[in-house]
Amino acid sequence: MHPISQPVVKKDHTEKMAGSAEYVGDFYSTDMLHARFVRSPHPHARILEICYPELPEGYCSVDHRDVLGENIVHVVEDDSPVFEVDEVFYVGDPVAMIIGPDPQRVKALAAATEVRYEVLSAILDIDDSDTVFFDYHYGRGDCEDAFSEADKVYEEQFSTGYQEQAYLETQGMSARYEDGLLTVHGSLQCPYYVHGAIAKATGLPKGSVRVIQDYTGGGFGGKEAYPSFLAAQLGVAAMKVPGKDVRVVYDRREDMEFTSKRHPSRCTYRAAVKDGRVTALEIDVRFNSGAFTTLSPVVLQRGIIAAPGVYHVPSLKVRGRGLRTHTVPTGAYRGFGAPQTFFAIERLMDHIAADLGQDPLDFKLAHAAKKGDPTSTSGIYHYEVPLPEMVDKVCEMSDYRAKRAAYAKEQGRRYRNGIGIALWFHGCGFTGSGERDFIKAVVGLHKHADGTVEVLACNSDIGQGIKTTFSKVVAAELGIPYDQVSYGNPDTSRVPDSGPTVASRSLMTVGELLRRAAARLREEWVDGQEQSVEEHYHEPDFMLPFSLEDFSGDAYPTYAWGVSAIELRYDSLTGANDIVGCWSSFDVGTPIDLAIVTGQMEGGVLQGLGYSSMEQMATDANGRIRNNSYSDYIIPTSADVGELAVSMHVVEFPFGPYGAKGAGELPLVGIAPAFVEAAEQALGARGINHIPLKAEEALEYLGAAQKEAHR
Amino acid sequence: MSKTQGSSHDGATAAVMSAANEAVTTATLPTTAAPSVRAVSVSFVLNGREVTWEGDPSAKLLDVLRDDLRLTGVKCGCREGECGACSILLDGVLVNSCMVAAGRVGGTEVTTIEGYCTTERFKVLDATFARRSAVQCGYCIPGMVLAAEALLSANPHPTEEEVRTGISGNLCRCTGYNAIVDAILDASKEGEGLW
């Protein structure tokens, strides 16, 4: 293990432990105004009239007429309004806001605001969608030939559900306009995304907008784009009441129903098999984008690039569509499109292996890409692909092979076990050339006269420990004690734009810039003097330039790798399962802090286990989310997994600090297919190709298997 | 399947549910004002100090602590008794403060993280949570620490399974729980004699 992997006490440990860290809802001021939204009750309707109740002194309404800049919340495209003007597109679409000093009264006034609508027809299912937001195609080789020469052709459809980030702290934002300066602080991942969105909506020059990240109670992607909406809406409101703080903190139900979550997906895969090998894949990926584009193009890009999984398949034809429905816009969630397609490819490989009478793990290993092989987009796996060693490790930890054989035999009447295994990667950092063409990250270091060094960057610590790992990298490179380096919550008035806190990029990409900055500062170091250095992003020379036109080239500089085995025990009376264990090996390069990385891996695995089965989110006849509380959107507790074990495998990445690669998203990505493979074995079922897998369905599979056994 | 999250289909939940629904339906302002509530005076010991609070006895203790008494270490995660972020000790018993009416706490001892963090027991947990890097986003932590205290004071030498059951009413979305469980087990050893 590299010396830098040695755990330290996290920079933000003390204040979080003692409850003194201030999250946005914790700030207090005597003249605080509270905000409450007036939202559409219809999935699609024309707004005819907004009638506000008589507003007492100190209370006011805010709607599109108050937007002084453009009525646009900029995400990737510009189709989302700050407030709707004449039409609403999903249940919960914001029409107006009421602000005032007493939160209860604000709530009552928002509820008393009458909006007259003409209800229009709504499209709630992607099968019915008539609007294709994004339609991407790529491929290589000759699929037609491969399918015509195939011994056998397989076709299967896969579907995945919503997943809610369920961060413990709901979304919240606070804004104040004073002396020409609009200051916004809140729970967010990307200070400069928020900054740009506010400037556009308010029409203020960028220098008149200041964004500060507060302590943030979890993000997982949910606070990547959504805070731009809240900040634009509150910024507009704050400019109406200069000199006052205007704040909104969502209640849990509002957060679960109306903020972005993981795209539900439907994928159709066709595979050509010749001489026991998959020679071609034709893949059609469809994601439910909801009412607006938000992050769908980039989520979809990552999803389709990952669609063939870790396998080297000579011929590929891939299509991906993001489809509009009149439902809540979907967006970023840890894994960002890849959990959906990895679910599909891993299940497909399992099912083909079963049909061919082969062991699924051996079948997968025989197809796994190796260093030097082409990636799905005709880039190259430039670095070692450590899957065989990682599979060996997971087999050893889980006793996978012996259990897989044992559970294939007759089992007891009541309890039935099964074990499954999945292989996956996560492309590290932004997809394609985003880092080079759009983000252009800048970092700085400021050395004070007393020798303490401050990190100047805007990546937010949302629990993943970036304050600690940035500080460790800088301290190590400078050869000074960790305590001598500090990194506070980002404030755009003080720090440069080092890019968003997304895509498992912060430590690998921004951390490397900081390491280079520290190396320069070390060279230039003069005792007793204040000194500053700045560093800019350059794309590593080895990369094959990526083109979004035809999806060709290196989509990622390198890959993080994951292998997990999951064992389930089903109760055939109730259909409920116990997760006996989940054993994983992960390669995220050098762990900059082993305890932090282990915590990230374990937390991601647990979210993946939730995604597989217990986290269920249904919608009503209007497409509105029904599972809107922790009472009926069930996330895992401390008592839900028997053994959750993680082992780290290290393939160093020379362009990441001390060999680090991307880490945060990886562990969630491939959990669901391993879970369902285990369920399939335990239930004696075949061809399970959807998640979440419910207990009621487990009972049906068990019943069907028993009938077949008695036949 | 989750085995430990309790049901909360009670009156408080129903009230929150209807309020949430109002936010998206067009409604009219009630023509009659809500019946006025008589404020009561409630005296209790808060983090070792006698306090007297006046207000609606049906107010949630969570709101009283956060908004009126400015103890914002008590976090709000759901307001309906499911997540445990607002956990406090009421006469030494772990409760969700969002599920306790303010009128109920007269004559009791209430401990929040602000009071607990001055104790010797906290120092032990602080050290073990630090060593295990058990704190990620931090939002569940004040409640989690008090859950650990409630567990260890009832059972100073818990097994891993007992720890997992003991904190199962406190949701954490970041960690996967292993580091928290290990930190509590470490504390039970290193704090020998304190609990």
DSSP assignments along A616-653, one per residue: ---B-TTS-BS--STTTS----TTSEEEEEEEE-----
A40 contact residues in B (CB cutoff 8 A): 24
Mutate to test the interface with B, among A638, A665, A671, A697 (most CBs of B within 10 A): A638
Judge whether A680 and A418 are in contact, CB under 8 Å. yes
* Contact at CB, A640 and B138, closer than 8 angstroms: no
Around A247, how many Cα atoms within 13 Å sit in the side-chain half-sphere? 23
Across chain A, mean pLDDT equals 97
Query: Do B124 and B111 share a structural domain?
Result: no
Q: With b meaning 16 or more CB within 10 Å and e meaning fewer, what string describes A7-34?
A: bbbbbbbeebbbbbbebbbbbeeeeebb
Judge whether A373 and A308 are in contact, CB under 8 Å. no
Judge whether A617 and A691 are in contact, CB under 8 Å. no
- Give dist(CA A615, CA A161) in Å, integer: 9
What mean pLDDT do residues A309-320 have? 98
A37 contact residues in B (CB cutoff 8 A): 23
Q: Quick check: is B45 in a domain?
A: yes
Give the percent of chain A with pLDDT over 90: 96
Q: Pick the last residue of a domain from B91, B115, B139.
A: B115
Residue B20 confidence (pLDDT) above 60? no
- Give dist(CA A199, CA A235) in Å, integer: 9
Q: How many CB atoms lie within 10 A of CB A512?
A: 23
- Widest CA span in chain A: 86
- Give dist(CA A283, CA B163) in Å, integer: 46
Per-residue pLDDT at A705: 85
* Contact at CB, A637 and B3, closer than 8 angstroms: yes
Query: Do B177 and B131 share a structural domain?
Result: yes
| Count of domains observed in chain B | 2
| pLDDT band (50, 70, 90) for residue B36 | low
**pLDDT tens by residue, A436-456:** 999 999 999 999 999 999 999
* Contact at CB, B168 and A637, closer than 8 angstroms: yes
Query: Do B80 and B136 share a structural domain?
Result: no
Per-residue pLDDT at A536: 97
Per-residue pLDDT at B2: 40
Give the percent of chain A with pLDDT over 70: 100
Give the percent of chain B with pLDDT over 90: 81
Query: Do B137 and B80 share a structural domain?
Result: no
- Give dist(CA A596, CA A468) in Å, integer: 9
CB < 8 Å from A in window 56-115 of B? 66, 70, 72-80, 82-83, 85, 112-114
Closest Cβ opposite residue A19 in set B5, B20, B117: B117
Is A659 in a helix, a strand, or coil? helix
Residue B33 confidence (pLDDT) above 80? no
Non-local CB neighbours of A83 within 8 Å, separated by 6+ positions: A62, A63, A64, A66, A67, A71, A94, A95, A96, A97, A233, A236
**pLDDT tens by residue, A515-565:** 999 999 999 999 999 999 999 999 889 999 999 999 999 999 999 999 999
For residue B149, what are the domain limits? 119-190
Per-residue pLDDT at B13: 33
- Residue B34 or A388, more confident: A388
Closest Cβ opposite residue B82 in set A254, A578, A629: A629
Closest Cβ opposite residue A16 in set B5, B66, B135: B135
Closest Cβ opposite residue B16 in set A253, A577, A604: A253
Mutate to test the interface with A, among B16, B24, B67 (most CBs of A within 10 A): B24
Query: Do B183 and B141 share a structural domain?
Result: yes
What mean pLDDT do residues A277-304 have? 98
Query: Do B131 and B98 share a structural domain?
Result: no
- CATH (domain of B109): 3.10.20.30
Identify the residue whose tokens are 């004002």: B33
Identify the residue whose tokens are 């011929």: A315
Residue B22 confidence (pLDDT) above 80? no
Among chain A residues, the shortest Cα distance to B127 is held by A9
CA distance B43 to chain A (A): 24
**pLDDT tens by residue, A19-37:** 999 999 999 998 899 999 9
- Give dist(CA A575, CA A702) in Å, integer: 8
Q: Quick check: is B172 in a domain?
A: yes
Q: Quick check: is B19 in a domain?
A: no
* Contact at CB, A462 and B137, closer than 8 angstroms: yes
* Contact at CB, A26 and B72, closer than 8 angstroms: yes
Closest Cβ opposite residue B29 in set A112, A463, A576: A112
* Contact at CB, A635 and B171, closer than 8 angstroms: yes
Query: Do B179 and B141 share a structural domain?
Result: yes
* Contact at CB, A638 and B177, closer than 8 angstroms: yes
Give Cα separations from A415 to A404, A407, A674, A695, A706 (angstroms).
Answer: 16, 11, 19, 14, 13
**pLDDT tens by residue, A93-109:** 999 999 999 999 999 99
Per-residue pLDDT at A699: 95
* Contact at CB, A695 and B1, closer than 8 angstroms: yes
Residue A601 confidence (pLDDT) above 80? yes
Ordered structural domains, chain A, with CATH: 24-122+166-258 (3.90.1170.50), 265-430+553-710 (3.30.365.10), 434-536 (3.30.365.10)
- Give dist(CA A140, CA A307) in Å, integer: 14
Query: Do B124 and B110 share a structural domain?
Result: no
Q: Pick the last residue of a domain from B115, B137, B153.
A: B115
Query: Do B156 and B139 share a structural domain?
Result: yes
* Contact at CB, B139 and A41, closer than 8 angstroms: no
Residue B34 confidence (pLDDT) above 60? no
Q: How many CB atoms lie within 10 A of CB A538?
A: 12
Non-local CB neighbours of A683 within 8 Å, separated by 6+ positions: A416, A418, A570, A698, A701, A702, A705
Q: Quick check: is B8 in a domain?
A: no
Per-residue pLDDT at A374: 98
Per-residue pLDDT at A545: 94
- Give dist(CA B188, CA B186) in Å, integer: 5
Per-residue pLDDT at A412: 86
Q: Pick the last residue of a domain from B115, B144, B179.
A: B115
| pLDDT band (50, 70, 90) for residue B24 | very low
Q: Quick check: is B52 in a domain?
A: yes
Query: Does any CB of chain A come closer than 8 Å to the CB of residue B173?
Result: yes
Token output for B45: 């010991």
Token output for A198: 């506010």
Identify the residue whose tokens are 């487990």: A698
Query: Do B138 and B105 share a structural domain?
Result: no
CA distance A347 to chain B (A): 22
* Contact at CB, B74 and A19, closer than 8 angstroms: yes
* Contact at CB, A41 and B24, closer than 8 angstroms: yes
* Contact at CB, A9 and B177, closer than 8 angstroms: no
Query: Do B135 and B184 share a structural domain?
Result: yes
Per-residue pLDDT at A711: 74
**pLDDT tens by residue, A403-428:** 999 999 988 889 999 999 999 999 99
Q: Quick check: is B34 in a domain?
A: no
- Residue B16 or A690, more confident: A690
B27 contact residues in A (CB cutoff 8 A): 111-112, 114
CA distance A616 to chain B (A): 11
Query: Do B131 and B68 share a structural domain?
Result: no
* Contact at CB, A114 and B28, closer than 8 angstroms: yes
Around A372, how many Cα atoms within 13 Å sit in the side-chain half-sphere? 0
Per-residue pLDDT at A413: 87
Q: Quick check: is B74 in a domain?
A: yes
- CATH (domain of B171): 1.10.150.120
Q: Quick check: is B23 in a domain?
A: no
Per-residue pLDDT at B18: 35
Task: Mark out the alpha helices in A269-399 (DSSP H runs).
Answer: 296-305, 338-356, 360-367, 387-398
B177 contact residues in A (CB cutoff 8 A): 602, 606, 637-638, 644
Identify the residue whose tokens are 């806190």: A501
User: CA nearest A617: which of A608, A609, A626?
Assistant: A626
What mean pLDDT do residues B168-195 have? 98
CB < 8 Å from A in window 25-44 of B? 25-30
Per-residue pLDDT at A709: 79
A56 contact residues in B (CB cutoff 8 A): none
**pLDDT tens by residue, A39-81:** 999 999 999 999 999 999 999 999 999 999 999 999 999 999 9
Looking at residue A257, what DSSP letter applies?
H
What mean pLDDT do residues A667-676 have? 98
- Give dist(CA A205, CA A181) in Å, integer: 10
**pLDDT tens by residue, B89-100:** 999 999 999 999
Per-residue pLDDT at A37: 98
Q: Is the peptide bond before A692 cis (omega within 30 degrees of 0)?
A: yes
ipTM over 0.95: yes
Closest Cβ opposite residue B171 in set A114, A596, A637: A637
Among chain A residues, the shortest Cα distance to B3 is held by A640
Backbone angles phi, psi at B110, to 5 degrees: -110, 130
* Contact at CB, A463 and B138, closer than 8 angstroms: yes
Per-residue pLDDT at B31: 38
Residue B135 confidence (pLDDT) above 50? yes
* Contact at CB, A169 and B139, closer than 8 angstroms: yes
A39 contact residues in B (CB cutoff 8 A): 23-24
